[in-house]
Amino acid sequence: MHLDEPIACVDLETTGGNALHHRIIEVGIVLMDGGAVVEEWSSLVNPGCRIPRGIEEFTGITNGMVADAPDFAALHAEILERLSGRLFVAHNARFDYGFLRNEFRRTGRRFRAPVLCTVKLSRRVDPGVRGHNLDAVMERHGLTCVARHRALGDAQVLAGLLAALRGSRDPGELDAIVAGLVSESRLPPQLDPELADELPEGPGVYRFYGDDDVLLYVGKSNNLRTRVLAHFAGDHRSSKELRLSRQVRRIDWTETAGEFGALLRESRWVKELGPLHNKRLRAAGESWTIRLREAGEGVLAEVAMLDDVGTGDAECYGAFRSARDARKALDELARAHGLCLRCLGLERGDGSCFGFQLGRCRGACCGSEPQALHAARVRLALARIKLRSWPFGGRIGIVERDWRGTEEIHVFDRWRYLGTAGSLDALDGLSAESGFDLDCYRILCRFLERPPPRARLVELG
């Protein structure tokens, strides 16, 4: 596949960003043969629904303008004739391609074509350059647009970009890049080959099912299409990966507004659904911690459930899958740092403890070490695993918004995940669906340490 072949540069304007729910309001197509433009065509499309005001302002296409336009069913044969047998070229190609495939499906027709995304092409030919949206690409290559954010105007820009690259890049190198971007990933014969066209290029969570619809695996990615297809790329690093790829019979997925939401949904799905091949997140249930309480000048330690003590004002150290694991960790730290189990309230008796007689305790139990010093050493020994106190006055929301404008608000209170809402108006119905979850705690801690660029924190009170 190369740029001398028949090409259709395509751009669409739509009522929104979801190909399943929103509709096309304008189509623009520029046809190229041998690197030269041979036809330009565009049409407004009646979407059968109202165009949101924000879309009207962004594109300049109003409800009045499309009122008398043909619907997609009336245009589909004309559009299909122009696209058939050509390389489908678009900016953020999976968006335009996905919308067209859904519109064709509504008419009872199936549409497939080799696809070249000019965003990916721009990144590949200019790997050290920041900015690959259409405005940045136009500026970098000296291109102009007579009608920006209109379908034909933007499609003309794509044709100009391809011509500019043909004139400025080594032909062999450019053809190799295009061929690599267009080539379809090979899928196992038991899967529908159209899967590669359906998978979105955005964040989300996916599920693999085997025979009898048994759930095999749950995964997440910032790019669902790339990650899912990588499972079947043939360069498996382990026999487990190879076995999984051979067992898959069905795949489904859910898109999220960002990576944070994908992490939360993956964690929940693994715990609730118990996929066979997930082990890292599979364990669910109680979480335990080591809690310190003041006792005069000293401190007492106890192993307690995190749901019982919370993590807001309590002095908690570590999160463990069982009470036994927590007690084992405490015993090991006491031994390593010469702490007194009797002073910590973990051993009964009077006078010197058994550890002091063996040289494992520095004598806080019999007055050889001040209680205050012992308490300080206890906290120092546990400092590495101290759980963070809740740093906010109440609930918080992690807000993510994707390129389509879809927003998700992930709500937490005292480290507990309360759920996800699509707007601030929907927050009141959220309440903790479960107790303290160690994985959600870690996901939120990582966010607070290094927030991703497309997410923000809001305090909800």
What is the Cβ-side half-sphere exposure of residue 219, based on CA atoms within 13 angstroms?
A: 19
Q: Residue 175 forms beta bridges with which residues?
A: none
Mark whether 236 is an active-site residue: no
Cα–Cα distance, 119 to 114 (Å, whole number): 16
Cα–Cα distance, 164 to 155 (Å, whole number): 14
Cα–Cα distance, 55 to 58 (Å, whole number): 5
Cα–Cα distance, 108 to 42 (Å, whole number): 23
DSSP state, 123? H
Q: Strand, coil or helix: what is 143?
A: coil
Q: Which long-range contacts (CB under 8 A, 24 or more apart) does 284-288 make?
A: 285/321, 286/321, 286/322, 286/435, 287/319, 287/320, 287/321, 287/435, 287/436, 287/437, 287/438, 288/319, 288/320, 288/321, 288/322, 288/323, 288/325, 288/326
Q: Are 218 and 266 in contact (CB under 8 A)?
A: yes
The residue among 89, 87, 113 whose CA lies nearest residue 6 is 87
- Cβ neighbours, 10 Å, residue 213: 8
From the candidates 2, 22, 141, 149, which is the catalytic residue? 149
Tokens found for residue 124? 């590949």
Residues annotated as catalytic are 149
